[in-house]
Structure 1
């Protein structure tokens, strides 16, 4: 079947999905849409990666479009103003490049380089304007994208985003130490850490500038809203683990739900795939219930005032985009060259990374 519904501006050829990764409920009940700005988004993010020196020109030319980073965001934050979506897409592309640097620093035994980068990223998050011209492209790229994100909503949202991303950086440091030490976290430890390394709170925060309004704490923290948001993100994290399992086994990873299940629960490889898939499918079915409750909550906010009406409408937009995350994540994993391990010359070395140069600044 096609990855996009007929309502979108782009309809690529059908993408084959391996039976072990196929989720018929996603293909049937979560039609994928694509933001109409997507073609321009792809072009501008590609240019941004070059201008910020985040990927070498040959890697951008050969891999940027095929990695489908912009497709992932364009399928998620529907209705976002073009400039908001562009900034989110640039930040997301930066995030993937950062993830690759983190991996290469581990593989090439560069703890000093990682510690230096970690410190600089914390600093750039607090004062992006002071780091726009930093010598390390990753630091300058974060400063640029985050500085732009900070322009859309009030300072309270900015402070929350920064707080959440500081926690993500610290979680990446914990993963670094685990991998260097060869320590495989327990399932419970992994579930907690994965919600940070996958940046659950960040992608949920970004629903708000996409909808054009900061949500007050009582609304964001309402159980109905939080549950729907968490399930959408957990689905993405566990499905990512399912799809990246071969890549991460090839790379001697220790951070994957499947690896924790095999190590600490004694499951076989076949049992592990079945268990991770079950968790993924549970996220989908549980979300369908949580979505209804979140939409009922949105309706309850319409108290007859203009403010209540607009607030309820904002929550509806955010919940609608939580739904979009399912289809966008699902198809991304089958379209992106990031997960086509079988096509790589070296199954442990992604062809889209600058394998030797990164991390030496």
Structure 2
């Protein structure tokens, strides 16, 4: 974004507000790091989109490998000439400082998978391949970074959760549903922009292309799935809270874990309201106000990333 575009549009995009509504109760330094990382993520998503639009395969490949490298050794990339890489490294240094080595390794593993999923999306889009509904839903869990945002619940609660808790079906189910809601609601709100831009990555587009639905039927089906996420989350939330309560009867350490689990589950619930608010307040989705419904007015279309 050129400086004048930053001044005109940045606050209205509400990127940091989205995180502030999700990770409620996080210490200030954790909240700031997550908010900055979220803003970086949206910028990265726009760079990826521009690389697709302009056929910049070499630029995307360089960025992909640089992000993998910065994820593993962020301190070595803080002064990288590409500000997108340097900004990512800065976020990683800060996020890696809050919990232990195992959390850092898990986060890195999850984000390496996100980078590779973005590469699969790049190849799908440049070849005009619309994934099937099942293939799209599997890939979407990575491109939306479901497990990254779930991982970040833990530093917000100032507690690295034991594997037995994180992998408990009740906890996993609630976490998945909160993120599925967000991804599918995002698809619903992004559909006009992505149809205008001849996109191939959207649940609605997969439903139209592979299941033969009309646009109106696809919108209805996404809305049905979104509403189902809400009702299913309410049931999963009750099960997850029972898990938290069971920990409260244990040792001092287990009680502390139980408190953290309750905080994480509370913020899973907050994700619903924050995502809903964001999509109706952020200028990122107000396509009816754009001269070109396929291109946000704040995006710099020049050859960013070519150097």
TM-score by shorter chain over 0.5: yes
**1:125 correspondence with 2:71:** yes
Contact 2:193 2:295 in 1 (8 A): no
Q: CA deviation at 1:349?
A: 1.5
SS at 1:185 equivalent: coil
Q: CA deviation at 1:304?
A: 3.4
**1:180 correspondence with 2:126:** yes
Q: CA deviation at 1:98?
A: 0.2
Of 140, 143, 149, the residue aligned with 1:194 is 140
Q: CA deviation at 1:303?
A: 2.8
Distance in 1 of aligned mates of 2:2 and 2:74: 23
Aligned to 1:44: none
**1:162 correspondence with 2:99:** no
Q: CA deviation at 1:322?
A: 0.2
Structure with bigger helix share is 2
Of 13, 27, 30, the residue aligned with 1:84 is 30
**1:60 correspondence with 2:3:** no
Distance in 2 of aligned mates of 1:99 and 1:108: 14
Distance in 2 of aligned mates of 1:89 and 1:344: 26
Distance in 2 of aligned mates of 1:358 and 1:347: 21
Distance in 2 of aligned mates of 1:96 and 1:205: 18
Distance in 1 of aligned mates of 2:294 and 2:191: 12
Query: How much is the aligned-residue C-alpha RMSD, in angstroms?
Result: 0.7
Aligned to 2:44: 98
Instruction: Give the number of aligned pairs.
Output: 307
Aligned to 1:319: 265
Aligned to 2:168: 222
Q: CA deviation at 1:56?
A: 2.7
Aligned to 2:158: 212
Aligned to 1:331: 277
Question: TM-score, with normalisation over the residues of structure 2?
Answer: 0.99
Aligned to 1:152: 98
Aligned pairs for 1:296-307 (under 5 A) are 296-307=242-253
SS at 2:141 equivalent: helix
Aligned to 1:257: 203
Distance in 2 of aligned mates of 1:317 and 1:105: 39
Aligned to 1:293: 239
- After the TM superposition, list the runs of 4 or more consecutive aligned residues in structure 1 that deviate by more than 6 angstroms: none
**1:308 correspondence with 2:268:** no
Distance in 2 of aligned mates of 1:300 and 1:170: 38
Contact 2:16 2:39 in 1 (8 A): yes
Segments of 5+ residues of structure 2 without an aligned counterpart are none
Question: TM-score, with normalisation over the residues of structure 1?
Answer: 0.84
Segments of 5+ residues of structure 1 without an aligned counterpart are 1-54
Q: CA deviation at 1:291?
A: 0.5
Q: CA deviation at 1:302?
A: 1.7
Of 266, 271, 288, the residue aligned with 2:212 is 266
Q: CA deviation at 1:346?
A: 1.5
SS at 1:224 equivalent: helix
Q: Deviations over 1:154-213 (max 9, x none)?
A: 010000000000000000000000000000000000000000000000000000000001
